[in-house]
Structure 1
């Protein structure tokens, strides 16, 4: 090989390598930030909805975050593979004769096996080049599929929510979860029937025309291999079954990563070796829960709970803020309030009582908001000027959270360490 030839890229280099590097290099930083933005979106939005809507919103979040994780991983892996390919190309230009196996302290058999496995350096470079392009194409295709699913589910969810909240039409949201499966049944039946009996049908017969109409209709809506050329190329050359298993594996891994990251965001103490730590649920009256203190809580990740300004109260009043919880407060208010009832008086009966060191406090509730999340809240100012220095307990009694009608369990999107009828907020003077 001449010096001029060694300075050129290999003959079979993928023509899109420069564009691939440009896209990966620019997009990788955005994709690495997108999962955190989606986390903030779901953590901020979920407490605003009742359980069944929050579950559907969580479904959209999982699809969107899975797509973001696939894209982020694709671009990072692609950059690493392209960097490896560039390194091989550069090294071959320095050593155009390739690997000199005689300079290794290897026996004849080991040297033969290693040389056969590597082959020509030009072939190794071509394999590295092709591998990078395949990773880039497959990641973009899979993320695009998830993005389309996310868009469809989000549109369906938005339409159902508008019907119920704006047009006051009762919507059974169970149909949203099953609609996609029902819609895909005719396509699956048509594909199986065509594979089994398609060759036996008369080309212009009624059955053949109906079968083609069904298949053609689905392809117009983006279903089918013809709408994913890159995936069709990969399936036809790598095997359809192998490709499907790979796609399912990638999707499951992405969904697992998205779900796990959400769980750890809500329950950070689940990660670590804390088996010997005392049970906080059993000792919640002796716990300084960060969610109870405005100067300690994380507005996005802390559970929705009543809170006061600080664990150490230096002023004459404790400012008690009780965020509005749709699943707890909405049903309780509807049961307690009549058409002409005073809403704040009804809320006071729903709260049932605010106690300081066991003594019921005469509180007057005011409408307010959680200033750090812009969510509605009810506020009460409690006079503590007569309290002695030391530890005190503020106890709030409320109705329990309404459980989901279908699953009969508290929605995991709104985890509460204690779904008891009261909250205890220790504070010091």
Structure 2
């Protein structure tokens, strides 16, 4: 009996030590939070480069009919990274403010009426509208402590969804070579139906009349569980743990959770600014990049030094003083897969080598015009020295054109595609004679 009591006492002591260690860790966690936050602000800003690079890779490798899927992947990624950045910045500022309040509270534990520099009437009235120092310290500490969990939950959710969606796109493009594309779409169709049912049950199960209906709530639980496993994979328990911690404590501290939601929305403003530094809009608004009434910096080598991925042909400058114009036309990776459809006669020519076949095909579906007059250049394969993009290079003789405003028109004319590309590149020609 005495041994049992000793064992029980030992368990209690161990539990107390564990609790005291955990409490001490919570009390001192602000130091680690501040350090991680400062490092993370720098690190997460680098993730914008990853989003930009991913966007360019999708543009390069995916066929145009899949651009919409790619858009949702990279835009949600941009939103997740933007939320993470804004949350880290907000956390850093709040924690710095919290440190200031803690230091102030250690010197002046509370407001003082007797020692005030102002009148008693004014001091009483102003103090009546101000929160207590200890209350502010506690609320800011709580808010800082939950920001990390919310931000990382969003990042982990997106990361898994983005990786899964990208792998599915790769698998889809591989499978459609061997099976009908409708069969390859079965997984995504099933997922859409699953998400539809979850949305439907979410509305029904949270209606006042059905919140106590056991059968509906059990069905709701099972659908959410299945959907979470499918969409979040091995991370579903950990991400649900975070979201349910917020949801199950919503009524206890509504203001705290509302603040977190407000901070999450701040990421939208960061995303709206950062999206202009990427080519994300190209995935859904390609026509915007082929407006013949506009001139783009990407057309000219001397103006596009900061552009990391060319979406259009390029000449040296918008002012030409030489008789030869150097023209570079980028060729995306997905274009190489179109050769069989766009160049069937050339592909059957057994007299040409593979490299010669490819170059002959590029000649066939690329057209160059100078002031509406067709020009037949001799193309050479070329890798752009700055962007490292593959393309074709041509040297165009413009000595016969008039001085002043002129333009070079480049067309990609596909036989098997409804949408062809066309760029009008204006330039001023000044005779150097």
Aligned pairs (5 A) from 1:8-407:
14-43=27-56, 45-96=58-109, 98-102=110-114, 103-105=116-118, 108=121, 111-112=124-125, 114-115=127-128, 117-119=130-132, 121-164=133-176, 167-169=177-179, 171=181, 180-187=191-198, 196=210, 217=226, 221=233, 227-239=239-251, 254=267, 257-263=270-276, 265=278, 289-298=296-305, 300=307, 304-311=311-318, 317-324=324-331, 334-335=341-342, 337-338=344-345, 339-340=347-348, 344-355=359-370, 360-383=374-397, 391=404, 393=406, 395-399=408-412
Structure-2 change in CA distance of 1:153 and 1:245 (3 Å): farther
Contact 1:291-1:302 at 8 Å conserved across structures: no
Structure-2 change in CA distance of 1:53 and 1:83 (3 Å): same
Secondary structure at the aligned position of 1:53 is classed as helix
Question: How far apart, in 1, do the equivalents of 2:330 and 2:73 lie?
Answer: 25
Question: How far apart, in 1, do the equivalents of 2:219 and 2:25 lie?
Answer: 45
Question: How far apart, in 2, do the equivalents of 1:181 and 1:370 lie?
Answer: 41
Contact 1:322-1:378 at 8 Å conserved across structures: yes
Aligned-residue offset at 1:28: 1.7
Aligned-residue offset at 1:144: 2.8
Question: How far apart, in 2, do the equivalents of 1:374 and 1:426 lie?
Answer: 28
CA distances 1:57-112 after superposition (whole Å, capped 9, x unpaired): 2222122222211221122111111111111111122224x222341535638725
Secondary structure at the aligned position of 2:173 is classed as helix
CA distances 1:242-264 after superposition (whole Å, capped 9, x unpaired): 69987876666545643553246
Partner of 2:353: none
Aligned-residue offset at 1:209: 8.9
Q: Which 10-residue stretch deviates more, 357-366 or 70-79?
A: 357-366
Structure-2 change in CA distance of 1:425 and 1:224 (3 Å): same
Question: How far apart, in 2, do the equivalents of 1:212 and 1:267 lie?
Answer: 37
Secondary structure at the aligned position of 2:307 is classed as coil
Q: Where does the alignment leave 5 or more consecutive residues of structure 2 unmatched?
A: 1-22, 282-289, 350-356
Partner of 1:204: none
Aligned-residue offset at 1:215: 6.0
Structure with the largest fraction of helix: 2
Question: How far apart, in 1, do the equivalents of 2:317 and 2:325 lie?
Answer: 9
Structure-2 change in CA distance of 1:106 and 1:70 (3 Å): farther
Aligned-residue offset at 1:200: 5.6
Question: How far apart, in 2, do the equivalents of 1:51 and 1:22 lie?
Answer: 44
Aligned-residue offset at 1:30: 0.3
Contact 1:398-1:421 at 8 Å conserved across structures: yes
Contact 2:319-2:429 at 8 Å conserved across structures: yes
Question: How far apart, in 2, do the equivalents of 1:235 and 1:81 lie?
Answer: 23
Aligned-residue offset at 1:281: 5.5
Contact 2:113-2:123 at 8 Å conserved across structures: no
Question: How far apart, in 1, do the equivalents of 2:397 and 2:369 lie?
Answer: 12
Question: How far apart, in 2, do the equivalents of 1:354 and 1:194 lie?
Answer: 63
Question: How far apart, in 1, do the equivalents of 2:397 and 2:42 lie?
Answer: 51
Aligned-residue offset at 1:51: 1.9
Aligned-residue offset at 1:335: 4.3
Secondary structure at the aligned position of 2:181 is classed as coil
Structure-2 change in CA distance of 1:224 and 1:422 (3 Å): closer
Question: How far apart, in 2, do the equivalents of 1:349 and 1:295 lie?
Answer: 29
Structure-2 change in CA distance of 1:315 and 1:89 (3 Å): same
Secondary structure at the aligned position of 1:238 is classed as coil
